[in-house]
Each structure stands twice: as C-alpha cells, then as structure tokens.
Structure 1
Amino acid sequence: MAHGEWTRRDFFRRSAIAGAVTLGGSTLLSACQSTGSGGVDALQAAKDAKTIKIGIANEAPYGFADASGNTTGEAPEVARAVFRALGIDNVQASVVPFDQLIPALSARQFDVVAAGMNITKQRCGAAAFSIPDYSALTALLVPKGNPQGIFKLEDVAAKKVKVAVLSAAVEKGYLTGAGVAEDQIQTLDTQDNMLRSVTDGRVYCAALTDISLKWLAQKNPDAAVEVTPGFDPVANGSPVLSAGGFVFRTDDNSLRQAFDTELQKLHDNGEWVKIATPFGFGQGNLPKPDVTTEKLCAA
C-alpha cells in the first residue's frame, strides 16, 4: 500500500472509536493500555492470563465495530479461532488509526495487529508478519454501466479520469506506477467518502481491493455504482503479489510461530473459509502455496 507508510492497502478506514465495544464478549479497550514490558514471553503471558490484546483500524470487512458495538471482521474472527486453539479465550481489541498500528504494536499497546494489513517490504523492516492470511485482487468502483470503460489502472492513466484512494493505502502507489498523474488522484479518509465522490461525479472511480469495494457496494444498494472484475496490479511488467497477514513484534517469535501453526490448520481444514465467508472472502482468497511472507517481504 503506501509508500513510506504503515497503512494498508486496503480497507475501510480509519477512524478511531471512542469508548469501549466488545469482541466476542470481551471489551474493546482504548489504545493507551499496554501489554507489559519487554522481556516477557508474549505467548506464555497470554496463556497464563487467557487473554490477548489485538489492534484493529475499524476497516470493514477486515476489522470493525458493528452497529451493536461489537468488534468483528475477517481478521478478528480468524484471530479468535487461532487463539481459542491456543487456550486463549479472551481477545481484547484496541482501535487505532491504520497508520499507527505498527507503532502502537511496537509500543506494546497490544500484541498482534489483526487488521488485514498487506505484507510489504517496508513493513517487514519494522515488524514480523504471519504466514499470508489471505490474498486479494484490486478493483475499481465505477458509475453504473461504466460509461468510460475503465477496467484497470492503465485505463485510468490513458483516459485521464480522476480516481479516489484511501489515505496511506497501497492503491496510490499502484496508480502512479501505472502512469496515473498525481493530479488525477484524490486521497480520502473513509470508504463512504470514496463512494460519495464517485456518485457525486467528483471522481470517476475509486481504487481498493475487490473485497472492500464489493462490501461497500453491497451495503449501499441504492448507490448507482458497480465494481469492476478484480485484477492484479502490474509493476515493471509483472503482476504485483498482494496478500495480507497478522503482525507481531519482531522479538515475539514464539507467539508468531504458534499463531502460524494454528492459522495454517484453519486454511487446510476448511474452517478459515467458513469464518471468512460472511465478510466477502472465499476459497479463492486463500493464498497460493508460492505466495509466502518471505517473498512478499523481499518484493
């Protein structure tokens, strides 16, 4: 996602929530609470307390608070299943702005980022990622009927239409890499503002993951928009590998390794698809065997 920023590619953004909400019966805490001092094994501490803290960014469908104030989404629900398998039943979620997730993790405000964060080389320099949790295609939100015939980023460049992206999201880099001029790109702070910009005609289209845009269109059935077929962005003539994962501090190896073991089991036994399907994911979003964290961190 973003050049020089932690934020992700990708998804429904990015406002801190005041107060507390619940995650499967547990409390969503403000981001000021710490997981403790360095030198403590995070996995053992969580097992002893039967509690762990995660960070989310309030981006649907990755991790967000629903209308009842409960925290849900693909990443928190997958994390809950993993931690249950590890004997950790209580998951407490803190909401911070997307671009502050890794800094807050490093400051020990929580132990895991569960926000559908894209695995990128720059982020890998500051934190440790799980195995890829999911892969996603990029898509465009366009007016109903797509009168300009915009289906990929290169079309945006060729036809010189205006396009919206989320603040600090990877899509801006994808667009400039496809030859889209900076003055064609509008950076917005929420998905709702992206939708309004398209429906009001301030931009022709908006770029995000196909999962996010399909969710946005589904939640706004009266909006005169549609989502293009998903595609892989191209950089230097090759498709860009895009996959997201969970994020850990670099010194929390035992926690990350235990998490990876249980996450892989969910991928292999079909439970991941069951958990993720309500949030717009499917079998096709399982990462291919050759999509690895090592490759993504090196790209």
Structure 2
Amino acid sequence: MNRFLKSIGVFLLILFSITAVSAETLTSKLKGGDKLRLGFGTAVPWAYAGDNGQALGFVNMIALTVLEEMGITEDQTETKVFEWSGLIPGLNANRSDMVTGGMYILKSRCANMNFSDPIGVFGDAMMVPKGNPQGINNYADVIRTGAKLVTGAGFNTVEAAKKYGVPESQMMLVEGEVGILAAMKAGRADVAVQTFFGAKEHEAKSNGMFEVTDPKLMPKETLNVVGIGFRKSDVEFRDNFNAALAKVMANPAKMLERAGEYGYDKAQLPPPSMSTEWACSTK
C-alpha cells in the first residue's frame, strides 16, 4: 500500500509539473530569457527564411517592427519553419510562439488560435499558362472548363473553391507554394489559385510559362485580411502586440519601408471596417 501511495504521489508531482510548464504564458517565458519563436512556412514574398535562418518577407518585417515597438529586438527572436498545414498545430504544440506566415483571418482558424488585429488586406488570383488558353479567371471558369485546379493544403483557397462549387475531383492539394509551382510546371494541373503576391512571385520564376489573372475578376468575397497568430493562452501578449501594432499603423513609415522591399505598400493597409472580429465571424 505504501509503495502504491508513493507511486500515486510521484505521478501527481509529474502531472503538476507538466501542467505548470504548459500553463506558463509567453509573457512570462520572455521575461525568463526565452527567445520568441516566429513560425512561418516558405511563402515568398510573405514569409521565408534567409540563408542564415533569418526572418524575411513582408509579414515578418511587419511583425519585427511591432515587436521592436514592444521592446523586443530581432536578436531576441528565432525562426521556426513549417509546412503551411503545420503552422497552427506547431503553435499549439509549443514549437513556435507566433504564426507570421501571412494567414488570412478565417472563422475556422479563429477557432484554433487567436489573431492580432489585421496587418493588411489582400486578394487571391489564378495562375494560368501564358495566354490563358482556357480563359480561366475565377472558380466559375474552373468548373466550366473542367480544369484541374491546384492549391496548397490548408490554404484559404481550399474552402473558397469548395464554397464556389469546384468539385473535389477537379482539385489537387499540395504542400505549400513550392508544391503549387511544381505541379504547374509538371503539367499535373491546369490552373493554380493562391494569393496575388504568391502568384506574381511564381510568374516571375516561370520564365514566361505562366501569367497571373486580374484579382478583380475573382469573387469579391475572396478579399481577406491577414493577422499574426497566437496561442489561446497568450491573450496578454496578443493584447500588448495589438497596442504596439496600433502605434505602428498610426505612423507606418518605418514599417512600410521595411515591408516595402517585398512588395507591400499602403494599398494593403487594412480599413477599420475589416477587423479581426469581423473576419472571425464572417469569413
């Protein structure tokens, strides 16, 4: 009996220790000297890692500018690169502390992590073979032509394509931006759908093979806002981030200079009407 009670005591001690560690907030970890881990996939020009692992891309530049406003310097951060579909699971498994990959704020994502206030407003576009021989500019055209549509697993475009009636038999899901371009180059897909920025990056890399359609020909509802993601337990840090973000957005010159190197400009500044609460309830 004594041995049994001792075993129970050891088990409860371990359980208490695990619970205490998991309950530790991001704010307290940083105060203890831990580095802030930025989680993102490889999605040029949104977010990607440099040769030395440094955070590059306009979403990372915006995040780093806001963190500096909070008193957190770049050398107090480190990067964690994931496949796109692993960003939210990685955050919730404590393998990163912030998702800076450039995620659209969607109801399904809001259920699994908290978003900052929007950092920008963006649209999607189709990438097609040069000359657009099938005349594909939107989801209705994909259905009409029977074309094979490729997009990234976990991308907002998966939900959007299904919403606008694209059958699963016409859809191909791959891992991230790299997989999209590979599928198009190999001829396994007829058309790709992704963010306008991502499509333009692929167009530039295709040596004239592909072109990007006019995003205004996509459904108006595909316009989305992007936020930085945080664990549900890190409300205090998210709120402090939002306070710093408001200061940066009120005087965005420094942020626009840094993010502008990657194509972000004042046209992407989010309007007040497109809030995180609005996106979480309607998107």
TM-score range, shorter chain: 0.7 to 0.9
Deviation >6 Å, runs of 4+: none
Deviation at 1:40, TM superposition (A): 3.5
Name 1:261's counterpart in structure 2.
243
Matched, 1:250 2:232: yes
Task: Say how many residue pairs are matched.
Answer: 261
- Distance in 2 (CA, whole Å) between partners of 1:108 and 1:201 is 38
What RMSD, in angstroms, separates the aligned Cα atoms of the two structures? Answer: 2.4
Q: Which moved more, 1:197-206 or 1:40-49?
A: 40-49
Letter in 2 for 1:250: K
- Distance in 1 (CA, whole Å) between partners of 2:240 and 2:78 is 19
Query: Which consecutive unaligned segments of at least 5 residues does structure 1 have?
Result: 1-35
Question: TM-score normalised to the size of structure 1?
Answer: 0.79
Letter in 2 for 1:119: I
Name 1:82's counterpart in structure 2.
66
Letter in 2 for 1:87: G
Q: Deviations over 1:202-246 (max 9, x none)?
A: 32210001011112222x151411111114854xxx724512211
Name 1:5's counterpart in structure 2.
none
Q: Which moved more, 1:131-140 or 1:55-64?
A: 55-64
The equivalent position to 1:95 in structure 2, one of 58, 61, 81, is: 81
- Tell me the secondary structure at the aligned position of residue 49 of structure 1: coil
Deviation at 1:47, TM superposition (A): 4.7
CA gap of 1:265–1:50, structure 2 versus 1, over 3 A, is: farther
Name 2:5's counterpart in structure 1.
none
Deviation at 1:67, TM superposition (A): 4.2
Matched-pair identity in %: 27
Matched, 1:104 2:90: yes
**Structure with greater helix share of residues:** 2
The equivalent position to 1:292 in structure 2, one of 266, 269, 275, is: 275
- Distance in 1 (CA, whole Å) between partners of 2:185 and 2:85 is 27
Report 1:185-196 matches (<5 A). Answer: 185-196=171-182
Matched, 1:228 2:213: yes
Name 2:9's counterpart in structure 1.
none
Choose 1 or 2 for highest CA Rg: 2
The equivalent position to 2:261 in structure 1, one of 278, 286, 293, is: 278
CA gap of 1:147–1:114, structure 2 versus 1, over 3 A, is: same
- Distance in 2 (CA, whole Å) between partners of 1:287 and 1:232 is 21
- Distance in 2 (CA, whole Å) between partners of 1:200 and 1:58 is 20
Question: TM-score normalised to the size of structure 2?
Answer: 0.83
- Distance in 2 (CA, whole Å) between partners of 1:232 and 1:133 is 24
Name 2:138's counterpart in structure 1.
152
CA gap of 1:190–1:51, structure 2 versus 1, over 3 A, is: closer
